[in-house]
Chains A and B, each alone.
Chain A
Amino acid sequence: MARAISTRRKIGITALAWALGLLIFFPILWTFLTSFKSEADAIADPPLFLNFHWTMENYFAVQERSDYFKHFWNSVVIAGGSTLLGLIIAVPAAWSMAFVPGKYTKDVLMWMLSTKMMPPVGVLIPIYLIFRSTGLLDSKTGLVIVMTLINLPIIVWMLYTYFKEIPGEILEAARMDGATLREEIIYVLTPMAIPGIASTLLLNVILAWNEAFWTLNLAASKAAPLTTFIAGYSSPEGLFYAKLSAASIMAIAPILIMGWFSQKQLVRGLTFGAVK
């Protein structure tokens, strides 16, 4: 495919693509800029693009007004905890399905996928009632449990598709070479599986971080992660644009950065390996 393409055409394509890219990205960029404006500049008419007085005051105000770090920490615990717990449960399952497939492996996999089809609203009431009566409502533990379970099928599937790519002959070779199951896992499987596990971890942190149905319904204050924290900004309008921007940027920045690193895995994970 090494064909010369005219530079003029390439520049044209570049200009168009960049214009569209910036257009799509603009809301995030605008939020970012607004977060450094004073509240007055944020609603100035006509809007100010770059020529305003830059200030960090909104970021401090957000922390002071609504305790950003508490919510940030809740998000970290919920997203991180559920992902780790999910991996602990899913790694052995995916491992055995990929390397010791049985007659029902495919059925089990499809069934696991089917649990993901359950609309959350269909089971909202029982979960809400169970949580209310067991004291799990508005607790990090409760959200970790829910988040683990709703993402478990994705974790199993992602790991499964990665493990599937490790040739079975290599594990057989290790066995012939005298490795015990434990040694096989430590010396051969784990080093080869780590990239896949890392991608799975990344994608699931993103999914759990951004999940908004269960967090909005099950955690009102004490255990509220950033999704709920931001929703708290929906009522006071107008005068809080700059602070809302700062809060938004603080809520999405960590995940935006992680997301940019995991684009490829995202495709694979979210399509259950159907598109690679």
Chain B
Amino acid sequence: MSTQHSRSAAKLMIAPATFLLFVWMLVPLVMTIYYSFQRYRLLTPDRRGFIGFDNYVNFIDNPAFWSSMGNTLLLVGGVLVITIVFGILFALLLDMPMFGQGIVRILVIAPFFVMPTVSALVWKNFFMNPVNGLFAFAAKALGLQPYDFLSQAPLASIIGIVSWQWLPFATLILLTAIQSLDSEQLEAAEMDGAPALSRFFYIKLPHLSRAITVVILIQTIFLLSVFAEILVTTNGGPGTASTNLTYLVYAKSLLSFDVGAGSAGGVIAIILANIVAIFLMRAIGKNLDS
């Protein structure tokens, strides 16, 4: 395969993809960094100029920043815990012999294909609405006071919605991983006298550890950027109670038209994502070798 001719043809074929991604990554990155050191408001574009770290200082000094950092971490952490715990349970259940397994799989996977704006609106109106939502009806039926989820517990509600969207993903990946477990290993453990619970903790869970790592890392990448769900349900409110970093940058740049501050926030988001990325790349890179 590796003759001189085929190697130079190969380079030529990789070139467009590499070049495009390089431009796509580098140009905006450089611009974001550049803007982050500029005073640049779209409403007063003539008062532009270099202002050093002022944008960063202002962005970080804002109480909204720290609450958005907290919200981002809660959102990511909350969704990860929910999806992985329930994902493992669902995957174990779906791996068992049953009637109509294919259909159950289809039902479970469905939410992943629902676009974020639709799922946010469905949950907001049909379930969480304090007047006409199904939860309100259920509360009234039980003689309780209806609860206004999105104004009283906005972040938890959003965590719930996002978890519903990502649970199928976790379940599907963990199920795939469980099914790839060599059944002879489990039979050997059974012959060795390990009861079902021990078989889960000593054989299945270690086997799943890699899949769990992958789920954590990939979901984290996406969850750091949750946006549509917040925009559609709470607009980040009340106050900044459900504003995450992504939404804060959006609000700064496209609602307050402060390009400089927004860019500073963008750079912070990039740094945060890169910390996660390093771990993800390691996990996937290892897989390349095996």
A and B touch in the complex (CB under 8 A): yes
Take A119-B225, A124-B266 as given contacts and tell me if A212 and B116 are in contact as well, using a CB distance cutoff of 8 Å. Answer: yes
As a 0/1 sequence over residues 188 to 205 of chain B, the CB contacts with chain A under 8 angstroms (1 = contact) are 000000000000000000
- Count class of interface residues, chain A: 35 or more
Within 1-43 of B, Cβ neighbours of A (below 8 Å) are at: 1-2, 6-7, 9-11, 13-14, 16-18, 20-21, 24-25, 27-29, 31-32, 35
Using CB atoms, name the residue of chain B closest to A88.
B16
Within 237-262 of B, Cβ neighbours of A (below 8 Å) are at: 245-246, 249-250, 253-254, 259, 262
Pairs A–B under 8 Å by Cβ, sample size 10: A20-B93, A25-B107, A45-B140, A113-B281, A121-B249, A121-B265, A121-B266, A212-B115, A231-B121, A241-B132
Measured between C-beta atoms, what is the minimum distance from A194 to chain B in Å?
A: 19
Tell me if B74 counts as interface (CB < 8 A to partner A): no
Take A93-B17, A119-B273, A263-B172 as given contacts and tell me if A30 and B134 are in contact as well, using a CB distance cutoff of 8 Å. Answer: yes
Contact A252 B180 (CB under 8 A): no
Instruction: List 19 additional contacts besides A17-B93, A125-B263; criterion CB under 8 Å.
Output: A21-B107, A27-B126, A43-B132, A47-B137, A93-B16, A102-B10, A110-B284, A114-B281, A124-B262, A126-B35, A149-B24, A213-B228, A252-B115, A252-B118, A259-B109, A260-B109, A264-B176, A266-B109, A276-B176
Stretch from B46-54, B59-67, B94-102, B151-159 at the A interface: B94-102
Majority secondary structure of chain A interface residues (helix, strand, loop or mixed)? helix
B-side interface residues toward A, CB under 8 Å? Answer: 1-2, 6-7, 9-11, 13-14, 16-18, 20-21, 24-25, 27-29, 31-32, 35, 90, 93-94, 96-101, 103-127, 129, 131-132, 134, 137, 140-141, 164, 167-169, 172-173, 176-177, 180, 183, 187, 210-211, 214, 218, 221, 224-225, 227-228, 231-233, 245-246, 249-250, 253-254, 259, 262-263, 265-267, 269-270, 272-274, 276-277, 280-281, 283-285, 287-288
Stretch from A8-16, A50-58, A59-67 at the B interface: A8-16
Q: Which residues of A contact B245 (CB under 8 A)?
A: 121
A-side interface residues toward B, CB under 8 Å? Answer: 1, 5, 10-11, 13-14, 16-18, 20-22, 24-25, 27-28, 30-31, 34, 43, 45-47, 89-90, 92-93, 95-97, 99-100, 102, 106, 108-110, 112-130, 149, 152-153, 156, 168, 171-172, 181, 206, 209-210, 212-213, 216-217, 226-228, 230-231, 233-234, 237-238, 241, 244-245, 248, 251-252, 255-256, 258-260, 263-264, 266-267, 270-276
Q: Which residues of B contact A128 (CB under 8 A)?
A: 253-254
Across the A-B interface, give the 5 residue pairs with the lowest CB-CB distance, nearest first.
Answer: A96-B10, A259-B113, A92-B13, A123-B28, A126-B31
Q: State A92–B269 Cα separation when bound (angstroms).
A: 33
Take A125-B266, A256-B110 as given contacts and tell me if A227 and B116 are in contact as well, using a CB distance cutoff of 8 Å. Answer: yes
Q: Which of B28, B110, B214 contacts A28 (CB 8 A)?
A: B110
Contact A121 B232 (CB under 8 A): no
Contact B21 A112 (CB under 8 A): yes
Contact B116 A274 (CB under 8 A): no
Take A100-B7, A109-B288, A274-B214 as given contacts and tell me if A117 and B280 are in contact as well, using a CB distance cutoff of 8 Å. Answer: yes
Q: Which residues of A contact B225 (CB under 8 A)?
A: 119-121, 213
Measured between C-beta atoms, what is the minimum distance from A108 to chain B in Å?
A: 6
Contact A97 B14 (CB under 8 A): yes
